[in-house]
Amino acid sequence: AWDPATTSLARAYQDDQQIVLFPKLDTSNVTDVNRMLRNARNIAFVPLLDTSKVKNNAYAFGWDAGNKIKRLPDFDWSGITNRDGPYTGLSSLEKLPGHPIDLSRQTEVWQYFTNSRIPDEFPGVIFNTEQPNMQVRRLFSGCKNIGNRLPVKDFPDNVGNIDNLLHDSDIIDLSGQTLTAHGATCLESAFQTYSLTHAPRLDTPSVENIAYMFAWCRHLRTVPDYTAMSPVNMDYLLTGDYGTYPLERVEGLNFARVTNAAIFGTGTTYGYQKPSLRYMRIVNLGQSELTAYDFSLATVWGTGSEEARQSLVNTLLTDSYDRAAAGMTPATVRLSAASKAALTAEEIAAITAKGFTIA
């Protein structure tokens, strides 16, 4: 028989494939529901439980196996102290509470909705606005039913890290969306997923790390103008392994502070190349201490139209930093054969005069 004095339901029904309806229990003394229903694939209904004393609700209803729960009651999570959320592994979810989910007491938010279906009407989130450099990690990683939206668009200024935000989710066209996070310094792997076709606008002026942000986005076609921010780390920003073949346009990147600029990765096989990328605009090339830039994987950059060619010329000449005038060491810029052929002898001479060697 159930003892009302019980304080823990942690892992109570983990891996239980027989449970379909969660029993109505007196849970007024329960403090831990950690992994309570993890990998219970057939659970379909959970009643309103007394969760007023619960401090740990990490992965309470699942993780990655999925289940049949379509809606959850409005649980009282006011006592929660753990960083990992309960709304994970809810692969059939259709409805969440109608008010914003209150995370204002969390000093860190990790994996709060990971591997869940995000309902069409997402109520939003209230974040802690006092915790310095707050970490929000993998918030919607592995989520489904997102499509052309950002479930959360605005982050308070104290949020410093938003890495893996939509990693491996089913986002598609985010061209009409703007992510605003004025205090964020890290967006590493934020949109790293196969399905993305159009990247979102970013209002993230403080960001320093966008490494892997669009890595392995095999269907990505366009990246908007990001010149308002000047990240330090752009490593593997647009890398692929089996080919980010459709990528056609990168409207703007700012290399003023970059120290890691291998935006296409370091592989040399065909899968790493960008055979459709004709238009790419970069500003402030050469302003940082880097002395080598390799764009050779953009095999047709600057070809196919005068607009595309001008993006190449503007990057290397018009909008580049004058390293020679600043007394800096010359920098080497490696280009594909087609990109080099798109430059005139006069343009190459002028680029060289600014402190660059075309290779």
- Who wins on pLDDT, 218 or 244? 218
The string of DSSP codes covering 277-311 is --EEEEESTT-SS--EEE-TTSTTTT-SSHHHHHH
- Give me the pLDDT at residue 242, please: 67
3-state secondary structure (DSSP) of residue 271: helix
What element of type H or E holds 223? strand 222-225
Query: Residue 65 — pLDDT band, cuts 50, 70, 90?
Result: confident
Averaged pLDDT for residues 295-318: 97
| Max CA distance (Å), the chain | 88
- Give me the pLDDT at residue 243, please: 56
CA distances from 214 to 8, 149, 220, 280 (A): 41, 17, 8, 15
Residue 89 predicted with pLDDT over 70: yes
Model confidence pLDDT, tens digit, residues 119-164 = 999 999 999 999 999 999 999 999 999 999 999 999 999 999 999 9
- Give me the pLDDT at residue 1, please: 86
CA–CA gap between residue 233 and residue 186 (Å, rounded): 9
Residue 355 predicted with pLDDT over 60: yes
Query: Residue 112 — pLDDT band, cuts 50, 70, 90?
Result: very high
Nearest Cα neighbor of 196 from 225, 167, 224 is: 167
Strands (E), 95-221: 101-103, 108-110, 125-127, 134-137, 159-161, 178-180, 201-203
Q: Taking the CA atoms of the chain, what radius of gyration do you get in angstroms?
A: 24
Residue 354 · residue 329 · CB < 8 Å: no
Averaged pLDDT for residues 211-222: 94
- Give me the pLDDT at residue 241, please: 72
Q: What average pLDDT is seen over the chain? A: 95
**Tokens standing for residue 176:** 């009409």
- Give me the pLDDT at residue 244, please: 56
Q: What is the 3-state secondary structure (H, E, C) of 304-352?
A: CCHHHHHHHHHHHHHCCCCCCCCCCCCEEEECCHHHHHCCCHHHHHHHH
- Beta-bridged to residue 357, according to DSSP, are 332
Percent of the chain with pLDDT over 90: 91
Model confidence pLDDT, tens digit, residues 176-214 = 999 999 999 999 999 999 899 999 999 999 999 999 999
Cα 113 versus chain centre, distance: 14
- Who wins on pLDDT, 260 or 137? 137
Residue 240 predicted with pLDDT over 90: no
CA–CA gap between residue 114 and residue 94 (Å, rounded): 15
Nearest Cα neighbor of 65 from 38, 94, 44 is: 38
